[in-house]
A and B are shown apart, each in its own frame.
Chain A
């Protein structure tokens, strides 16, 4: 009986939600996760406090993990991938890299994204200077509870966060806004100031996209309560000052003047790339990718969470840059689509 089972690929926020909702509807969920731990990017990259709840990632995502681990209707395969995927809606067979096979009536691709690799923007100093970090590394520093320059452990006088690193940049083929970096950066600026009150935090931006309810809770709050300075400037390069600090060079577009400003730590607000394994995923599951390389979304209005293949659904950051909260909502939606369509198939057969 395959029509009572949904295969879920990926165990991040959206996949974990999809599994929990499939199980709650009385169906069986089989999770296949390529990593050895569940939780996806927030756990694998060691995020600090999540936006917008302010809850520590390990606590919030930890609850999602234990919810599926404690559910008898959910089977979990860790450290394996789907290598072969055959059949049609209502009757799929997936062959895993450990040789096992899974039969399922529907599949949800909750395969997420890959963080932009700042090495692809070498002029901004990542990989060259120890004190140039990414937002995920800075999150880890916050989670560890101490703000210090990696080079010599000194407390930074000044930290700057550069927005749109690996987003909205045609030069490197990233023609999308990664949606969350503005808010995450404002949140990070507050966390830095909280841990290290003597550190001044500057955010260099093209424009600020703390959309919806993030406006006052993050943008305004970081500015008004945590004294984060927002500088409208495009950065040309990050170099060394010669006295152990970093120089951020660019143009302040409001003052219309070149700037060369010393900083102790430079943080890249890295964007969300398509999952680097998407070409393989697309081939194995027979689904299309949209022009940026994310999973191609079916007609959305009546085929919500659909892909180019019937019976294969998707959700969250697999479709494009997405917040954790919306990934969770989409995971629930994808589960609803999957079990709804399976139910319809059974009704039709009887």
Chain B
């Protein structure tokens, strides 16, 4: 018999073989449908502390679930699935699987900070939303945001050359974030810039893009800097 409530069950919990014969009986399709249990079996006891290492989420442990954040939330007014109170609860208990289910919504926080203003326990829910979004990005649960890709390209050039070349940063950023290299606004921007640009300066810029010289005496500074940043990140997020 068909299970009519399938629409109420998350797709990933429905187990069904398209064709299956058991003891000579054909139980293909919905005849063999099984549903995995939705029971929560454990908490990740360290998750709250982990999220607290992200700047802005330090006070997440103060939450007592009053719901003021969700009540005041700009995004909640647009989409009732956007529920900071709920995600803070999941964070506190370490119910990461549940959080990951909302990976495509959590990042949508617009940082209006109404929640920060209204929270009676000074939890700073906006900071928690940002922390969760960053955590998901770092864990590869969500795709890197354009700003993260930009930051990475920027930092890479600094480590390597001790300086950045604007046009090279832009070029690589467009490439890594899947944007076309030729964009209308950029063409217009370049045209107008070229009008007043001394020829010698333009030539130097062109050479810099091609040869990308390092800052003088850069030596091992880049490696040291990179190691330091890595250490700081590890100290913060483990």
From A208, A231, A258, B93 is in contact (CB under 8 Å) with A231
How many positions in chain A have a CB within 8 Å of any CB in the partner chain?
Answer: 21
When distances are taken between beta carbons in the complex, the residues of chain A under 8 Å from B62 are 220, 223-224
State whether A257 and B40 are in contact (beta carbons under 8 Å apart), knowing that A200-B45, A229-B92, A229-B93 are contacts in the complex. yes
When distances are taken between beta carbons in the complex, the residues of chain A under 8 Å from B38 are 257-258
Cα–Cα distance between A258 and B41 once the two chains are bound (Å): 9
Q: Is B42 an interface residue (CB 8 A)?
A: yes
- A255/B45 in contact, CB under 8 A: no
State whether A262 and B45 are in contact (beta carbons under 8 Å apart), knowing that A231-B93, A255-B95, A255-B98 are contacts in the complex. no
- A227/B61 in contact, CB under 8 A: yes
Cα–Cα distance between A261 and B43 once the two chains are bound (Å): 8
When distances are taken between beta carbons in the complex, the residues of chain A under 8 Å from B40 are 252, 255, 257-261
- B61/A224 in contact, CB under 8 A: yes
- A261/B64 in contact, CB under 8 A: no
Q: Is B135 an interface residue (CB 8 A)?
A: no
Q: Is B19 an interface residue (CB 8 A)?
A: no
A-B contact count (CB 8 A): 48
CB distance from B57 to the nearest CB of A (A): 14
When distances are taken between beta carbons in the complex, the residues of chain A under 8 Å from B150 are none
When distances are taken between beta carbons in the complex, the residues of chain B under 8 Å from A255 are 40, 86, 89-90, 95, 98
Cα–Cα distance between A129 and B89 once the two chains are bound (Å): 30
How many positions in chain B have a CB within 8 Å of any CB in the partner chain?
Answer: 20
Q: Is B39 an interface residue (CB 8 A)?
A: yes
Q: Mark B7-26, 1 if CB is under 8 A from A, else 0.
A: 00000000000000000000
Closest residue of chain A to B46 (Cβ to Cβ) is A200
When distances are taken between beta carbons in the complex, the residues of chain B under 8 Å from A230 are 64-65
Q: Is A219 an interface residue (CB 8 A)?
A: yes
When distances are taken between beta carbons in the complex, the residues of chain B under 8 Å from A227 are 61
Cα–Cα distance between A208 and B90 once the two chains are bound (Å): 19
Closest residue of chain B to A231 (Cβ to Cβ) is B93
Q: Is A234 an interface residue (CB 8 A)?
A: no
Interface residues of B in 81-104 (CB under 8 A from A): 86, 89-90, 92-93, 95, 98
From B42, B64, B86, B89, A223 is in contact (CB under 8 Å) with B64
Closest residue of chain A to B40 (Cβ to Cβ) is A259
Interface residues of B in 107-155 (CB under 8 A from A): 121
From B39, B45, B86, A259 is in contact (CB under 8 Å) with B39
When distances are taken between beta carbons in the complex, the residues of chain B under 8 Å from A254 are 65, 86, 89
Q: Is A34 an interface residue (CB 8 A)?
A: no
List 8 A–B pairs whose Cβ atoms lie within 8 Å, in order of A's numbering.
A224-B61, A232-B65, A257-B98, A258-B40, A259-B41, A260-B40, A261-B41, A261-B43
> Which 10 interchain pairs have the tightest Cβ spacing?
A259-B40, A258-B39, A257-B40, A260-B39, A254-B89, A224-B62, A257-B38, A200-B45, A260-B41, A261-B42
Given contacts A232-B65, A254-B89, A261-B41, 15 further A-B contacts (CB under 8 A): A200-B45, A208-B64, A223-B61, A224-B61, A255-B40, A255-B86, A255-B89, A255-B95, A257-B38, A257-B39, A258-B37, A258-B39, A259-B39, A260-B39, A262-B42
